[in-house]
Each structure stands twice: as C-alpha cells, then as structure tokens.
Amino acid sequence: MTLDLFGDALDDPTDGLPAREPLGPGALLLRRFARPREAELLDAVDRVQAAAPLRHMVTPGGFRMSVAMTNCGALGWVSDLAGYRYDPIDPDSARPWPAMPEAFRRLATEAAAAAGFEDFEPDACLVNRYVPGTRLSLHQDRNERDMRQPIVSVSLGIPAMFQFGGDRRADRPARVPLGHGDVVVWGGPSRLRFHGVLPLKEASHRLLGESRINLTFRKAG
Ligand code: SIN
Ligand code: FE2
C-alpha cells in the first residue's frame, strides 16, 4: 500500500489482482470494472440519496440493520416488521423511488453481459452504505420473481470482505476481498448462493472517506 503525505491510502489492497476472477459456475468478479465511471456513478449516488435519504431498516425480527439503505428504480427493496418485499413506493416519503440513473443501468447491463448474462434489464437498485464496523449477515437474495436473472453488485469506496457461500447456510463461505470499482455478478447455478459482508475495517477512500457504497442491481418484478 502506498501512503501519501497525509497518510491516506492511495490504493486498494485489491489493486494488483486479475481483472476477471471466477467465483463458481455463473459467478464472476470483474475487478475495477466500475472505476473508469466513478465520477458519474458517485454523482448519481448523490442525486439518489438527495431524493430518497439513506435509512436504517428494521429486520422482520426487530433488529435495526447496521447498513444504511435506499433504492432507485421502479422497485425498492424494503424490510420492516412485516417482512422483506419489493415496493414501488418509498415508505419514508410515500412517493415512488427515484428513477434509476442511466449510468447505473448501463453499468449493470454491461457487467452482466461481460459475465455472460445478455439483456439484463434491472428494475431495482438497492444502495447500501457501510462504515467501519458495519456488516451484513449471510443471506440469499430470493425475493425476486425471475431467478434466471443475475444479481449485479458494485463496490465503491473503502474495501470490504465479501463472503460467498453455497446454497445452504451451513456451507462455509469463501472470503473475497472487494475494492473500489469491483463488480460481482452471480446467477444461473449460483443465483441462490448465500452471501454477506464481514465487519468493515477502518479505512479511508479518496472519494468516499470512511465509507463504502454498494449498489445491488436486480430484476425484481
Ligand atoms: C447485498 O447482498 O445486498 C450487498 C452485498 C455487498 O454489500 O457487497
Ligand atoms: Fe444480497
């Protein structure tokens, strides 16, 4: 790692790793794929957050999630005491979620195609914000209607350790370090694999400070 005069990390621990890393059948990590578009993506993140502020949702079991979330696109992922669902309306504002920015849609479609999933048209983008200490426990993405459509997950900001497990919760997950601009695509035989994020370590990113933004794209409806 290189340090500048002010002690900020200039690059990611994942910087030298290969551009394409298979994670299993139908699962591929595209390292740094989103980096050339970081400016337009972060601009779009700001616009989405301004229209639909980040919030800590509550799990059906009554726990406040440590990840702060919002959505854009026709459908938004929502959790509350009643359960998980996709909803066209932001429950905090009682208005539709902000439209999916074109830069988001294009990135998701191109990453899916690069992983072999042509014609991916996401209608839901979950925006997750992590700070050091924040984690996301192992889960499956299974609220979407069409399981033939992949998940496209984009990392921006400080690094995280992604856990990529099997089809059963008890399957021991692989640990996959994710850095700024990395995109993970999983679908086909890997579509229902358990995944999560270990508690983030203290770090600072030149554009996002002490935070990580994850964009998760899905065809939900
Ligand atoms: C998710 O599973 O919704 C997010 C995964 C991540 O933050 O990398
Ligand atoms: Fe997920």
What is the 8-class DSSP label of residue 7? -
Taking CA atoms only, the protein residue closest to ligand 1 atom 6 is 214
Angstrom distance (rounded) from CA 95 to CA 84:
19
Q: What was the pLDDT predicted at 8?
A: 43
Q: What is the pLDDT of residue 5?
A: 47
| pLDDT tens per residue across span 13-24 | 788 899 999 999
Q: Name the strand (E) or helix (H) holding 23.
A: strand 20-24
User: Who lines ligand 1 at CB under 6 A?
Assistant: 126, 128, 136, 153, 162, 195, 197, 214, 216
Distance CA 16, CA 19 (A): 9
For residue 214, the ligand 1 atom closest to its alpha carbon is 7
Asked if residue 47 lies in contact with residue 40, where contact means CB atoms within 8 angstroms, the answer is: no
pLDDT for res 11: 61
Of ligand 1's listed atoms, the one at least distance from the Cα of 130 is 7
Query: Hey, whose CA ends up nearest to atom 2 of ligand 1?
Result: 196
Its pTM stands at 0.94
Give mean pLDDT in consecutive 10-residue pieces for the chain, a chain of 221 residues: 47 84 98 97 98 97 97 98 97 98 98 97 98 96 96 98 97 97 98 98 97 98 96
Of 137, 163, 156, 162, nearest to 203 by C-alpha is: 156
Domains of the chain (ranges plus CATH)? Answer: 19-54+102-218 (2.60.120.590)
